[in-house]
């Protein structure tokens, strides 16, 4: 650069007019960007509001409900849970005498349903209580009283309450209204109720579809009795087992890659590690359905003997694979963010590598690692596609009782309910979404509290 051009540039630095013109456009550009960012947050917030509006609209509102048998005629205040087992059995005997064998099949018998009617009682109910004198008979040969006793001895009270609610009381939702209708159109709703439903003996009341019954009842084909308990337990189990598998492996892999994998430039291990790292980064972007296919092939089919096939453990292993890259990448980021001055301090005192990692690097990195785990966990809760492939059930009567149980999870339940024809299932789906969101909040809050604690113990 010649001295001449240098001088012109310095003149521009001194030129007040030039400065003022540019100042205006600089500020204008700054404001433009600021407004764009504001717009972005408004759009995001609006989308969130629309989501909440939609969910709340379906989850609360007036319903018109009718019963086959009004529960107030069965128990004081219609509260079946307050009854004793023998009282509940008496109700079953009175209203459903002919269906008792079916209930034995559904709630007591655990074998192959096709053999239920032909096998003798001693085999059908092996290991369960049955009237000893009847062991050679089939279930159908038992008297209703004997069948009732089998049920009474082999079911618990809560199961009976569910059974009676579904089969005897058999509540039917005749009509449901959205929250917005319920608030702004009440007179119209009441008029419609008076005109169409009141003489059938139905009742109109305001309800929250998310309630204790919804949380504690098992799945059901009857929307008035259906709950999400089985799916809530399924989701919790899958997520917790997934984290238990993915967290130690992911953090371990990250520690290896960040702390141990440095070899001399050109060393073949260095190249290997770089290939591994690149691949982990790419794996984080692989569509989840592909993990589902992998899980199906490996955990459900090949390792079916160990995992039991389409079970919680298969699903958790698949999910663990899915979130592993997320955990590894975030943990690596967190480890890398630990200042090298701290490592130097530790090594300078004669610490071994492991002591340095364990006592200095890990405590500083843990908050960041937990942040990554929160992200991963949120992903695991919401994932649906791989679980459908590895065989989450859409409908099961029993709660999962072990890691080798069949299961379902909330997103699948939501999907299943939204695709049902009865309109009430839309309300149920909205409730399930609320439960899913709350569950997400709770799990995230737990992780955030843990992280805050780790931060505090670092700062003190």
Partner 1 sequence: MSAVKATAPATSGAYAIELKNVNVFYGEKLAVKDVNVNIQRQKITAFIGPSGCGKSTVLRALNRMNDLVLGARVAGEVIYNGQNLYGPNIDPVEVRRRIGMVFQKANPFPKSIYDNIAYGPRLLGIRGKQQLDDIVERSLKGAFLWDEVKNDLKKSGLALSGGQQQRLCIARAVAIEPDVILMDEPCSALDPIATQAIEELMRELVKTYTIVIVTHNMQQAQRVADFTAFFSIRKEMLNEGKDRRWGVLVEYAPTATIFNSPANEETERYIGGEFG
The CB-of-339 to partner 1 minimum distance in angstroms stands at 8
Q: Is 327 exposed, middle or buried (0-12, 13-18, 19+ CB in 10 A)?
A: buried
How many positions of this chain bind partner 1 (CB under 8 A)?
Answer: 24
Q: From the list 68, 180, 269, 458, which residue makes contact with partner 1 (rule: CB under 8 A)? A: 458
The CB-of-360 to partner 1 minimum distance in angstroms stands at 6
Which is closer to partner 1, CB of 220 or CB of 261? 261
The CB-of-272 to partner 1 minimum distance in angstroms stands at 16
Which is closer to partner 1, CB of 27 or CB of 267? 267
> Under rule CB under 8 A, which residues in 235-294 are in contact with partner 1?
262, 264-265
The CB-of-367 to partner 1 minimum distance in angstroms stands at 11
Which is closer to partner 1, CB of 200 or CB of 457? 457
HEC sequence for the chain? CCHHHHHHHHHHHHCHHHHHHHHHHHHHHHHHHHHHHHHHHHHHHHHHHHHHHHHHHHHEEEEEEECCCCHHHCCHHHCHHHCCHHHHHHHHHHHHHHHHHHHHHHHCCCCCHHHCCCCCHHHHCCCCCCCHHHCCCCHHHCCHHHHHHHHHHHCCHHHHHHHHHHHHHCCEEEEECCHHHHHHCHHHHHHHHHHHCHHHCCEEEEEECCCHHHHHCCCCCCCCCCCCHHHHHHHHHHHHHHHHHHHHHHHHHHHHHHHHCCCCCCCHHHHHHHHHHHHHHHHCCCCHHHHHHHHHHHHHHHCHHHHCCCCHHHHHHHHHHHHHHHHHHHHHHHHHCCCHHHHHHHHHCCCCHHHHHHHHHHHHHHHHHHHHHHHHHHHHHHCCHHHHHCCCCCCCCCCCCCCCCCCCCHHHHHHHHHCCCCCHHHHHHHHHHHHHHHHHHHHHHHHHHHHHHHHHHHHC
> Under rule CB under 8 A, which residues in 384-443 are in contact with partner 1?
none
Measure the CA–CA gap between 91 and 282, rounded to whole angstroms. 61
User: β-strands 172-176, 60-66: how paired?
Assistant: antiparallel
The CB-of-278 to partner 1 minimum distance in angstroms stands at 19
Which is closer to partner 1, CB of 25 or CB of 341? 341
> Under rule CB under 8 A, which residues in 189-218 are in contact with partner 1?
none
Which is closer to partner 1, CB of 84 or CB of 359? 359
Which is closer to partner 1, CB of 310 or CB of 451? 451
Which is closer to partner 1, CB of 185 or CB of 355? 355
Point out which span in 48-56, 191-199, 381-389, 452-460 binds partner 1 (CB under 8 A).
Answer: 452-460
The CB-of-2 to partner 1 minimum distance in angstroms stands at 19
The CB-of-315 to partner 1 minimum distance in angstroms stands at 39
The CB-of-353 to partner 1 minimum distance in angstroms stands at 8
Which is closer to partner 1, CB of 51 or CB of 272? 272
The CB-of-285 to partner 1 minimum distance in angstroms stands at 29
Which is closer to partner 1, CB of 2 or CB of 460? 460
The CB-of-352 to partner 1 minimum distance in angstroms stands at 5
The CB-of-312 to partner 1 minimum distance in angstroms stands at 40
Cβ contact 371:193 at 8 Å: no
Which is closer to partner 1, CB of 127 or CB of 350? 350
φ/ψ (deg, to 5) at 172: -125, 130
| Binding map of partner 1 across residues 318-347, x = CB under 8 A, - = no contact | ---------------------x-xxxxxxx
> Under rule CB under 8 A, which residues in 342-371 are in contact with partner 1?
342-352, 355, 359-360, 363-364
Which is closer to partner 1, CB of 116 or CB of 347? 347
Tell me the Ramachandran region of residue 391: left when phi exceeds 0, alpha when psi lies from -120 to 50, beta otherwise: left
Residues that bind partner 1 (CB under 8 A): 262, 264-265, 339, 341-352, 355, 359-360, 363-364, 458-460
């Amino acid at each position: 650069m010649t001295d001449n051009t240098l001088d012109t540039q310095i003149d521009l630095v001194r030129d007040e007019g030039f400065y003022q013109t540019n100042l205006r456009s600089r500020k204008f550009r700054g404001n433009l960007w600021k407004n764009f960012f504001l717009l972005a947050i408004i759009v995001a917030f609006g989308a969130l509001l629309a989501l909440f509006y939609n969910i709340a609209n379906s989850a609360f509102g007036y319903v018109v409900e009718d019963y086959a048998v009004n529960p107030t005629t069965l128990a004081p205040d219609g509260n079946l849970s307050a009854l004793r087992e023998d009282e509940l059995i008496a109700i079953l005997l009175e209203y459903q005498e002919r269906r008792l064998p079916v209930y034995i099949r559904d709630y007591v018998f655990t074998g192959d349903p096709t053999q239920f009617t032909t096998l003798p009682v001693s085999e059908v109910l092996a290991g369960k209580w049955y009237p000893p004198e009847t062991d050679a008979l089939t279930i159908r040969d038992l008297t209703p009283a004997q069948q009732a006793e089998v049920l009474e001895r082999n079911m618990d009270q809560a199961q009976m309450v569910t059974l009676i609610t579904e089969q005897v009381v058999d509540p039917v939702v005749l009509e449901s209204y959205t929250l917005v209708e319920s608030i702004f159109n009440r007179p119209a709703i009441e008029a419609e109720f008076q005109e169409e439903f009141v003489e059938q003996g139905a009742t109109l009341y305001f309800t929250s579809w998310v309630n204790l019954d919804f949380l504690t009842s098992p799945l059901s084909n009857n929307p008035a009795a259906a709950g999400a308990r089985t799916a809530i337990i399924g989701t919790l189990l899958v997520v917790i087992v997934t984290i238990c598998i993915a967290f130690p492996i992911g953090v371990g892999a990250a520690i290896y890659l960040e702390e141990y994998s440095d070899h001399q430039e050109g060393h073949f291990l260095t190249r290997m590690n770089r290939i591994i790292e690149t691949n982990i980064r790419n794996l984080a972007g692989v569509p989840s359905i592909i993990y589902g296919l992998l899980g199906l092939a490996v955990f459900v089919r090949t390792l079916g003997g160990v995992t039991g096939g389409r079970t919680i453990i298969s699903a958790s292993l698949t999910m663990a694979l899915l979130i592993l890259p997320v955990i590894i990448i975030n943990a690596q980021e967190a480890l890398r963010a630990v200042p090298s001055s701290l490592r130097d301090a530790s090594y300078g005192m004669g610490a071994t590598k492991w002591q340095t990692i364990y006592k200095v690097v890990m405590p500083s990195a843990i908050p960041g690692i937990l942040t990554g785990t929160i992200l991963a966990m949120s992903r695991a809760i919401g994932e649906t596609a791989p679980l459908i492939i590895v065989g989450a059930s859409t409908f099961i009567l029993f709660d999962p009782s072990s890691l080798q149980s069949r299961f379902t999870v909330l997103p699948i339940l939501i999907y299943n309910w939204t695709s049902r024809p009865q309109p009430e299932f839309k309300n149920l789906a909205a409730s399930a979404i609320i439960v899913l969101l709350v569950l997400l909040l709770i799990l995230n809050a737990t992780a955030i509290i843990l992280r805050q604690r780790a931060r505090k113990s670092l700062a003190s």
